[in-house]
Amino acid sequence: MTAKDPASLGVATLDPSARALQQSEEALRQSEERLRLAQQAARVGSFEWNIQTGVNVWTPELEALYGLAPGQFGRTQQSWEQLVHPADRAQALAAVERALESSEPVEAEWRVLLPDGSVRWLLGRFRMLRDGAGRPQRLLGVNLDISERKHNELALQELNGTLERLVSERTQQLGVAHRELEEFTYSVAHSLRAPLRGMNGFAKILLEEYSSGLGQEALDCLHRIQGNAVLMGQLIDGLLALARVARGSLEPEAVDLSSVARSAAAEQAAQAPERAVQLVVRDGLHARIDRTLARMLFHSLLGNAWKFTSNVENARVEVGCSELRGERVFFVRDNGVGFNMAYANKLFVPFQRLHGPREFPGVGIGLAACQQIIGRHGGRMWAEGREGEGAAFFFTLPPFPGER
């Protein structure tokens, strides 16, 4: 018998030999064995419910899923119903109803209470077979043990619930902290400056009206009182500016940093028209950043660059960008007085200065605010310098969505 000979094939099918029958029975037995093994391995059991006779036949694997010994199942639909967890019974029955009304496969999940008191989750998947007239004949289907998945799902749900609770608690706490900070800065803004104005003002009155009766030392003291009051006012203003950067709203947008840097530099140049500073700004520097804060950032960085190059011949300030280990790093570099790297970590601490106010004026708030600005956008900021050779301030900003 070959495939090329259809006649011989027809004969063989119509007239099976005893040997062919034996082969076929063996194949069936093997197939059933494979199915049984597969069902065991997959923790699946199958059933066939004959609607006409009412007899529901289960495989031993299905009985095992319900905690029954082989042959122990009552073979009726009612005996199945009794095995389903009472809490899930209504919806399991509803699924069967749906299957009775259609020819589509139906799925449902329910629990069974095992004889040892434990609970097992099952997934039932079944489908109605109908005769030529559309009358329901047999409901065929399988049950799968989904306890593990269900257990994980429930654990995940619980975890999610806990997480959500935690997040909402933290959000509330943050809101309270935010409001308290707001009230605090508000009262600072209103109350702390008035006494300084008094100190300054009355010292000034003494100087104006009574200076003739005072010695040089007394006059000097009065000037110091005045100067300190003004300095304290500047420190308070610096603190308030820092707080504003920290708590203000953030509206990042695509910003042309090259042009922001150029206008900040133009401001500095206008304030010191007698100076010739060589400015190099790379074109096409873009980032997603809050525009107002970007202006503050460059105002501060270029202000510093101008300030700390004031004693340098051929002052040069460069604004650019480079790649560092696949990350875009912006920088503002100058060839000014520089700093000792041993103190680099102090640069960003509010009110910490590496130069006295007589050398270079300032209260020490600019870089702290810059770091806040970069930090709030999810970037990092650091500095490199060398005494007498210049300083460079580096910062990263997260790439645009879609970039890299």
Partner 1 sequence: MHTMKLILLIEDNESDEVLTVRALEKAKVANEIQVVRDGEEALAYLFGTGVHASRDITQLPTVVLLDLNLPKIGGLDVLRRIRADERTRRLPVVVLTSSGEEKDIVQSYDLGANAYVRKPVDFNEFAQAAKTLGLFWLLVNEAPPKRDVL
d(CA 346, CA 98): 73
Residue 30, judged by CB atoms within 10 A of its CB (0-12, 13-18, 19+), counts as exposed
Residue 162, judged by CB atoms within 10 A of its CB (0-12, 13-18, 19+), counts as exposed
Q: Does 351 bind partner 1 (CB under 8 A)?
A: no
Q: Min. distance of Cβ 377 from partner 1 in angstroms?
A: 21
Stretch that binds partner 1, among 25-33, 191-199, 312-320, 356-364 (CB under 8 A): 191-199
- Report the residue from 195, 357, 378, 388 that binds partner 1 according to the rule CB under 8 A: 195
Q: Does 219 bind partner 1 (CB under 8 A)?
A: no
- Residue closer to partner 1 by CB (options 151, 247) is 247
Q: Does 202 bind partner 1 (CB under 8 A)?
A: yes
Residue 321, beta-bridge partner list: 330
- Report the residue from 62, 65, 99, 229 that binds partner 1 according to the rule CB under 8 A: 229
- Residue closer to partner 1 by CB (options 123, 188) is 188
Cβ-contact 96, 111 below 8 angstroms: no
Cβ-contact 258, 390 below 8 angstroms: no
Q: Min. distance of Cβ 85 from partner 1 in angstroms?
A: 60
The number of residues making up the chain comes to 404
Integer CA distances (angstroms), 65 to 84, 107, 303, 310, in order: 12, 17, 77, 85
Q: Does 230 bind partner 1 (CB under 8 A)?
A: yes
Query: Within 13 A of 78's CA, how many CA atoms are on the CB side?
Result: 1
- Report the residue from 98, 125, 127, 193 that binds partner 1 according to the rule CB under 8 A: 193
- Report the residue from 226, 268, 309, 371 that binds partner 1 according to the rule CB under 8 A: 226
Q: Min. distance of Cβ 242 from partner 1 in angstroms?
A: 14
Give the binding-site size for partner 1 (rule: CB under 8 A): 24
x-marked contacts with partner 1 along 231-250 as a string, rule CB under 8 A: -xx---x--x----------
- Residue closer to partner 1 by CB (options 248, 399) is 248
d(CA 395, CA 294): 12
Stretch that binds partner 1, among 45-53, 200-208, 296-304, 312-320 (CB under 8 A): 200-208
Cα dihedral 257, 258, 262, 263 in deg (nearest 10): -40
Q: Min. distance of Cβ 173 from partner 1 in angstroms?
A: 23
Handedness of CA 10, 15, 19, 22 (dihedral sign): positive
Stretch that binds partner 1, among 31-39, 166-174, 224-232, 394-402 (CB under 8 A): 224-232
Cβ-contact 354, 339 below 8 angstroms: yes
Please give the residues from 168 up to 187 whose contact with partner 1 meets the rule CB under 8 A.
Answer: 185-186
- Report the residue from 70, 201, 388, 399 that binds partner 1 according to the rule CB under 8 A: 201
Identify each DSSP E strand in 176-300 by its residue range: 252-256, 278-281, 286-290
CB atoms within 10 A of CB 186: 12
Q: Does 191 bind partner 1 (CB under 8 A)?
A: yes
Q: Min. distance of Cβ 363 from partner 1 in angstroms?
A: 13
Q: Min. distance of Cβ 238 from partner 1 in angstroms?
A: 12
Task: Read off the tokens for 372.
Answer: 């806040």
d(CA 400, CA 404): 8
- Report the residue from 96, 144, 196, 391 that binds partner 1 according to the rule CB under 8 A: 196
Nearest to 141 by CA among 51, 19, 18: 51
Stretch that binds partner 1, among 2-10, 156-164, 230-238, 317-325 (CB under 8 A): 230-238
Q: Min. distance of Cβ 371 from partner 1 in angstroms?
A: 22
Q: Min. distance of Cβ 207 from partner 1 in angstroms?
A: 10
Phi-psi region of 151 (alpha: psi -120 to 50; beta: other; left: phi over 0): alpha
Binding site for partner 1 (CB under 8 A): 185-186, 189-191, 193-198, 200-205, 226, 229-230, 232-233, 237, 240
